[in-house]
Amino acid sequence: MGVLSYGEGTRPRCTYVCQYDHRGLGHFIRQALPTRQVGLRNRPPRGTRSLTRTTRPLLRKEPAVDETVTAEKPEAWLPREEWVQTQPRTLLASCVLLLDTAGRVLLLRYAPGQPAAGDWWLPGGMLDHGEDPRTAARRELREETGLGLPGPLRLIGIDHRADVLGTGPVLDCYFHGGTLPPGAAVRLSEEHDRHAFHHLTDLDALLPAPHLRTLCALHEAALAGTTVCLTDGEL
């Protein structure tokens, strides 16, 4: 016979009195009696096991915590230094489209030993820390060609490239530098080994087709006074 008590905080306190025999737990007699009726006279007989267990009352289920981030719950926002680490990283670059008096575009060829050795493209490069795109365009143009532009640089296009030589996403900012005066001297840096002015119709054999489409879109925007938004060089 076993004694199982339950009902903390309930009245009357009740106890299960279970009587079972050697044939197994499947053969038993159970009777619920008030606690006051269970005394020393109701001890289980010799040879049986006694078990007394008091169950705890059921706990009330707490409502789910709302972790929605709102302006009214600033404590739910990530600390800024952690939030910054979750944001996508994209490199920024600036390039300049320059024309001569004949309407040809200035292109530079990357020198041997450069990642894009032998390729032709516009003057430009990556931004330095704390530098804005327009300032970077002027600096890159001066470093790569020795040319300084007194006039304003107008934004004519942006191009988001998903991956550039394994560095990840790059956002290119393109500026129109206007028309160079006759006799303007180009002094190349060690990064390039040649420069030339080309009509767009002469570039089929010089540029890959995607680069040529990009350059044509930028040239059209420069002449029309508009701005284009490109994805991997495509409108």
Query: Where are the domain boundaries for CATH 3.90.79.10 in the chain?
Result: 85-231
| Residues whose CB falls within 8 Å of the CB of residue 81, separated by 6 or more in sequence, listed in order | none
Given pLDDT bands bounded at 50, 70 and 90, which one contains residue 37? very low
d(CA 164, CA 113): 17
Has residue 20 got a pLDDT over 60? no
pLDDT at 103: 95
pLDDT at 166: 82
d(CA 46, CA 114): 95
Reduced to 3 states, what is the DSSP secondary structure of residue 142? helix
Given pLDDT bands bounded at 50, 70 and 90, which one contains residue 89? confident
pLDDT: which is higher, 10 or 169: 169
Instruction: Answer yes or no: are the C-beta atoms of 222 and 183 closer than 8 Å.
Output: no
Range picked from 21-30, 32-41, 81-90 for highest mean pLDDT:
81-90
Report, as an integer, the average pLDDT of 63-80.
Answer: 68
85-231 belongs to which homologous superfamily?
Nucleoside Triphosphate Pyrophosphohydrolase (3.90.79.10)
Instruction: Answer yes or no: are the C-beta atoms of 122 and 191 closer than 8 Å.
Output: no
Has residue 195 got a pLDDT over 70? yes
pLDDT at 67: 62
Has residue 214 got a pLDDT over 90? yes
Instruction: Answer yes or no: are the C-beta atoms of 111 and 192 closer than 8 Å.
Output: yes
pLDDT: which is higher, 20 or 59: 59
Reduced to 3 states, what is the DSSP secondary structure of residue 148? coil
Q: Determine what percent of the chain is predicted with pLDDT higher than 70.
A: 68
Question: Of the ranges 27-36, 118-127, 224-233, which one carries the lowest mean pLDDT score?
Answer: 27-36
Report, as an integer, the average pLDDT of 192-208.
Answer: 96
Report, as an integer, the average pLDDT of 149-161.
Answer: 92
Q: Residue 222, class by beta-carbon neighbours within 10 Å (0-12 exposed, 13-18 middle, 19+ buried)?
A: buried
pLDDT at 63: 66
User: Structure tokens of 145?
Assistant: 């060609």
pTM for the complete prediction? Answer: 0.67
Closest alpha carbon to 218 in 94, 92, 96, 90? 96
Given pLDDT bands bounded at 50, 70 and 90, which one contains residue 35? very low
Q: Determine what percent of the chain is predicted with pLDDT higher than 90.
A: 54
8: Cα separation from own chain's centroid: 54
The per-residue pLDDT of the chain, averaged, comes to: 81
Closest alpha carbon to 168 in 93, 66, 60? 93
The Cβ of residue 175 has, within 10 Å, a number of other Cβ atoms equal to 27
